[in-house]
Every structure is written in structure tokens, then in C-alpha cells.
């Protein structure tokens, strides 16, 4: 490979090249002349051996530079040809013969056979101490190995710093992809893609590279020159494997140093995966990252379908329905709880009957989803089934504690991939704004726009001032006296001023309700039948969840 031709140290074979060996002082002092294989000097010298016995090939493993004065070459042309052919078959890097008492010049049988076999053959015109040559080349090889280790260790240090800085699997894979100048993939042991990093040829998306080379061919060997490294797991047995790192040489060749770096990165990833506990969580996080990127516009509507297919989502030609479940702070799972939650919810969603792309966003405490509908008319029915499945999954995961606020499920507007982007973002924000509302199986994102607006204003001092002006006297009353009047006002407004329905829900007789409403009007100094007053009070009651 070109990197071997142009570099003194051959990273492809973890040794030095024949060319570099000839440039070292020991061999250079012997006035080396290349008589065969001049186009093969980029071969890797793995080790140096000196010997004078005819059967020396049996002592070699391949990759050696053999030093000899020629006494083991034989005296007849047939012996010399057999000697060279055997060395070439063994795969040595080069044969170096010192001219002197045995040969004043190399026999033509020797030279012709070396040329035919493609074996570099060098003759030395001056005597050199073989021990000096051996020491020089071995030192160079050891130094080269050390340089490789240093480069791999630098990747390890960068990965460690990334983790200490709050990074995770994507950051580790990104560092490894940058180092190897090739895309890097983390797969499960059965070939499912967990994460991808780096870029393919001409900046191609790594997911497209994986889909073309690995997706349909999980059971086939990877392309030649690929690097596969197992990520050890925490299961029983010394050979437990949790995942697999795959480096594909689609942009440039991969060298042994890239395998070294991948092996060190695998050790770091093992720690990350051990903390995550389950590959399901990693896959769900990867899908959650995709859905988040889609919502934030980092994935375009044109690219989204292909990336979704790689993640296993094939919705068909119907509209897409965005859904977001947000867990309350008391329900947010810690540690590997997200793996349990993702698995439980996925199993519950299997009965919904439509294509589902489920992700998790632990930092935000959200579970985003995209569903493939056949028609828009399915929206309400599918939303009912999905909301029930989501809540059942939370219960199965052991996260629905008695007295805790249940999860909030918000359903967006069904539409195209472009609409799904805005719908996911809207549903995610609305799910946060809906915390503390009266519990419902699910909320329509469109019906909570006022709550979302008030939530966005939560830190603005004018909002707190507005709430205080509108219902402050009632809050002061309820802090000092009973019965509390704010629940009565809230129920009254929720029923649009219908007193009979309000009385029934509050379990009050009408006269008691009338007295309470009169007291509310007196404390607020306003008329509860005035539309503007009703609007202001409704907004204040909604906003009070967001202000101290």
C-alpha cells in the first residue's frame, strides 16, 4: 500500500520496510546493490535472521530479512534455485548476500529465480558485521512498535478525557473515526447497529455506508481489510461479549495501529456499556438521538427516511404520528433503568399494530416516538392504544410509584417527514409544559398551546405579577381560611360557568356553591360573568403552576 511505500516505518506490517533497512548505517556500509525485486522494497521486515545452512527456510516464519554469506546456497544451479524458491514460498521480506570468499558475484540461477519469484535480492560489496545489522534493524522495529503503541495510547487518552468530560459512546466512536479516517460502527453481537460515527467516501452518511456494506450482510465476512474488535461484556464467562466495534476501510486502508486503537477504545466502551447495562438501552438512545436530531432540524426531511430504515422503521406511505412521553422527576430511571423501561415499553407497543420507532432521551426524561399510520382518521384510536402501552410499560418497569405524578403523553399532528420534525419538537416542549395538569391518558399538543406559551414565560417577572394580580387574594385566603376557594373557581371555569355541573363535581349543593362564587367575586373585586374576567382568571390558574 502507498502508506508502506512512503513511510520508513510500515504501519501495515508493524515493522520497517526493506528500503528503510538498506538505508540504516549497517547495511549502507556494505554498499548494497539490489539485483532483484527492486519494486518490492516496501515489504515489511518483521525480524532479522542470519544463517548459513541449506534448510534455513524451515526456521523462518515469514517477514524476515535473511543475512547470509552464501555458504548454504549450494554449489549447483538447481540447489540455488530451490533455495530461493523455498525462501520465497516461506514469505521472507528479502535475501541479503554478502559477497566474499563464497561468491564474488551472485550466480545467475540465484538472481533469475529471485526475479521470477518476486523476492528482493541484495548483494553487499563490502563485509559488514551481521550482529551490528541485526541490532540496528531490531532496534528500529522495536522503536516502530513503540511509536505504534504511543499513537494508540493517545487515542485511549483522548477517549478517556472525553468520558471524563461528560461524553459517551458517540464521542468515543467519533475520536476513533477521526483517527482512522474511516467510519466506525458499534453493533450488537447479532449484527444490529447501535451507533455510527465518521463519514464515508465523499462525506457520505455513515448510516448509508453501514446499510450498504453491513446491514443486509450481517452474517457474511466484512470487506477485506476491515477491523472487528469485540467489546467485552459483564456476563458470565471469560469470553462474554457485549458488542462489536467495526472499522470499514472505505476511505483509506486500515493499519495495525488502527486495530490497536480500536482494542483500547473497546476497553473504554466496555465500561460505558457496563454502566448502560443493556444494548437495548444503547439502541433506544441511538433512536432517541435520531428523533431529537430530526426534531431540531439536524436531520433533513429528505435524509430522514433512509436513516429511519437503518434503525428499523419502515412506516409505509401513510402519515407519521409524533408522540412524546415525559416522565416526572420522581419517575426518571437511574442507571440501567432506561434499558428496562425501553424494553418494557417496546414489548407493550408490539400490540399497537402500526410501525413504531421508539427512542429514549434520558437527559430530558423523555421517550419520543414516531408511528406510521395508514390514514389520518386512525390518529385518535392509535393514540389511545399507544398511551395505554406507554403507561403499561412504565408500570412493568417498576417506575409507577404510589402517589407519584404519572407520565405525561402528548400526541402531535400527523403528517409528512417535514411535519414530523416540527411535531416532535412541539410535542416534546408541550410534554414539559403539561407537567402538573389534570391527569389524562394523553394530551393533544394543539390543545395545550396556551400552556406551552405560559411555560415559556415562566421566568419572566411579568407572569408572576399577572398571576398575583389575578388570583393573589384567593391564594391568601386559602392560606388562612377554609374551605379553599381556588379549587372551586378552577372547577367552575373548567365547566364554562355551568353551575349545576360544577356543584355535582364538587359534591356541593347549589346554595353552597352560590355562596362560594359570591365570596370569590368579593375577594377579587370582579364579576365572574364578565368574559374578559373569565379569560384572565383562566390564564392565571394555568400559569400558577409555572411561578413560585
CA 353, 368, 330 angle in degrees (round to 5)? 115
Range from 20-34, 72-86, 240-254, 289-303 carrying the lowest mean pLDDT: 240-254
Q: Round the average pLDDT of the chain to a whole number and report it.
A: 85
Q: What local confidence, expressed as pLDDT, does residue 434 receive?
A: 86
Does the pLDDT value for residue 548 go beyond 80?
no
The gap between the terminal CA atoms of the chain, to the nearest Å, is 68
> Beta strand 443-444 with 408-411: parallel, antiparallel or unpaired?
parallel
The CA distance from 462 to 471, in Å, is 14
Q: By CB neighbour count within 10 A (0-12 exposed, 13-18 middle, 19+ buried), where does 526 fall?
A: middle
Does the pLDDT value for residue 186 go beyond 70?
yes
What sign results for the dihedral spanned by CA atoms 158, 162, 163, 168?
negative
For residue 350, report the phi and psi dihedrals to the nearest 5 degrees: -60, -25
Give tens-digit pLDDT for 426-458: 999 999 888 878 778 999 999 988 888 988 888
Q: What local confidence, expressed as pLDDT, does residue 55 receive?
A: 87
pTM of the model: 0.51
The CA distance from 312 to 291, in Å, is 13
Contacts of 334 (CB under 8 A, 6+ apart): none
Q: What local confidence, expressed as pLDDT, does residue 403 receive?
A: 62
Give tens-digit pLDDT for 470-519: 999 998 998 888 889 999 998 998 888 899 999 999 999 999 999 999 99
CATH numbers and ranges of domains, the chain: 2-141 (3.40.1390.20), 167-276 (3.30.450.40), 290-456 (3.30.70), 461-546 (1.10.10.2840)
Does the pLDDT value for residue 2 go beyond 60?
no
- Mean of the pLDDT values across residues 140-156? 79
User: What percent of the chain stands above pLDDT 70?
Assistant: 91
Does the pLDDT value for residue 239 go beyond 60?
no
The CA distance from 211 to 324, in Å, is 28
Is 230 in contact with 267 (CB distance < 8 Å)?
Answer: no
Q: Helix (H, G, I), strand (E, B), or coil: what is residue 279?
A: helix
C-alpha cell at position 315: 412506516
Q: What local confidence, expressed as pLDDT, does residue 414 receive?
A: 94
- Cell 521480506 belongs to which residue? 93
Give tens-digit pLDDT for 379-422: 999 999 999 999 888 887 776 666 667 889 999 999 999 999 99
Amino acid at each position: 500500500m502507498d502508506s508502506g511505500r512512503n513511510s520508513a516505518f510500515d504501519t501495515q506490517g508493524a515493522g520497517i520496510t526493506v528500503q528503510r533497512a538498506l538505508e540504516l548505517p549497517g547495511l549502507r556500509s556494505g554498499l548494497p546493490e539490489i539485483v532483484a525485486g527492486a519494486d518490492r522494497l516496501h515489504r515489511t521486515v518483521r525480524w532479522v535472521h542470519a544463517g548459513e545452512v541449506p534448510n534455513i527456510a524451515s526456521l523462518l516464519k515469514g517477514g524476515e530479512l535473511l543475512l547470509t554469506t552464501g555458504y548454504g546456497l549450494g554449489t549447483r544451479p538447481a540447489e540455488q534455485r530451490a533455495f530461493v524458491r523455498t525462501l520465497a514460498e516461506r514469505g521472507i521480506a528479502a535475501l541479503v548476500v554478502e559477497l566474499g570468499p563464497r561468491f564474488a558475484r551472485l550466480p545467475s540461477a540465484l538472481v533469475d529465480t529471485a526475479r521470477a519469484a518476486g523476492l528482493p535480492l541484495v548483494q553487499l560489496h563490502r563485509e559488514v558485521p551481521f550482529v551490528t545489522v541485526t541490532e540496528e534493524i531490531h532496534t528500529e522495529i522495536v522503536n516502530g512498535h513503540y511509536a505504534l503503541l504511543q499513537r494508540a495510547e493517545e487515542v485511549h487518552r483522548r477517549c478517556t478525557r472525553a468520558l471524563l468530560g461528560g461524553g459517551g459512546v458517540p464521542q468515543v466512536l467519533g475520536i476513533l473515526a477521526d483517527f482512522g479516517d474511516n467510519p466506525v460502527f458499534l453493533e450488537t453481537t447479532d449484527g444490529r447497529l447501535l451507533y455510527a460515527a465518521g463519514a464515508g467516501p465523499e462525506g457520505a452518511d455513515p448510516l448509508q455506508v453501514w446499510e450498504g456494506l453491513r446491514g443486509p450482510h450481517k452474517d457474511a465476512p466484512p470487506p477485506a481489510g476491515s477491523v472487528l474488535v469485540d467489546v467485552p461484556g459483564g456476563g458470565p464467562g471469560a469470553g462474554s461479549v457485549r458488542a462489536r466495534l467495526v472499522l470499514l476501510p472505505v476511505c483509506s486502508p486500515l493499519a495495525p495501529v488502527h486495530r490497536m486503537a480500536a482494542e483500547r477504545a473497546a476497553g473504554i466502551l466496555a465500561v460505558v456499556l457496563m454502566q448502560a447495562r443493556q444494548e437495548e438501552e444503547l439502541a433506544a438512545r441511538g433512536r432517541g438521538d435520531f428523533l431529537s436530531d430530526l426534531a431540531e432540524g439536524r436531520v433533513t426531511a429528505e435524509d430522514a427516511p433512509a436513516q429511519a430504515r437503518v434503525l428499523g422503521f419502515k412506516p409505509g406511505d401513510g402519515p407519521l404520528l409524533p408522540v412524546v412521553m415525559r416522565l416526572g422527576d420522581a419517575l426518571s430511571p437511574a442507571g440501567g433503568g432506561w434499558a428496562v423501561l425501553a424494553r418494557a415499553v417496546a414489548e407493550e407497543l408490539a400490540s399497537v399494530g402500526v410501525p413504531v420507532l421508539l427512542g429514549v432521551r434520558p437527559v430530558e426524561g423523555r421517550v419520543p416516538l414516531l408511528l406510521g399510520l395508514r390514514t389520518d382518521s386512525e390518529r385518535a384510536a392509535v393514540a389511545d392504544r399507544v398511551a395505554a402501552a406507554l403507561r403499561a410499560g412504565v408500570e412493568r418497569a417498576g417506575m409507577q410509584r404510589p402517589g407519584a405524578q404519572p407520565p405525561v403523553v402528548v400526541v402531535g399532528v400527523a403528517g409528512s417527514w417535514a411535519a414530523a420534525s416540527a411535531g416532535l419538537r412541539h410535542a416534546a416542549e408541550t410534554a414539559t409544559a403539561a407537567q402538573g395538569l389534570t391527569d389524562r391518558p394523553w394530551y393533544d399538543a394543539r390543545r395545550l398551546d396556551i400552556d406551552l406559551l405560559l411555560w415559556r414565560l415562566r421566568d419572566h417577572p411579568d407572569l408572576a405579577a399577572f398571576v398575583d394580580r389575578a388570583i393573589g387574594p384567593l391564594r391568601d385566603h386559602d392560606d388562612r381560611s377554609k374551605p379553599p376557594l381556588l379549587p372551586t373557581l378552577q372547577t367552575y371555569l373548567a365547566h364554562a360557568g355551568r353551575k349545576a355541573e360544577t356543584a355535582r363535581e364538587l359534591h356541593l349543593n347549589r346554595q353552597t356553591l352560590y355562596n362560594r362564587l359570591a365570596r370569590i367575586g368579593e375577594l377579587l373585586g370582579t364579576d365572574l360573568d364578565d368574559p374578559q374576567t373569565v379569560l384572565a382568571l383562566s390564564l392565571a390558574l394555568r400559569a400558577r403552576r409555572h411561578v413560585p
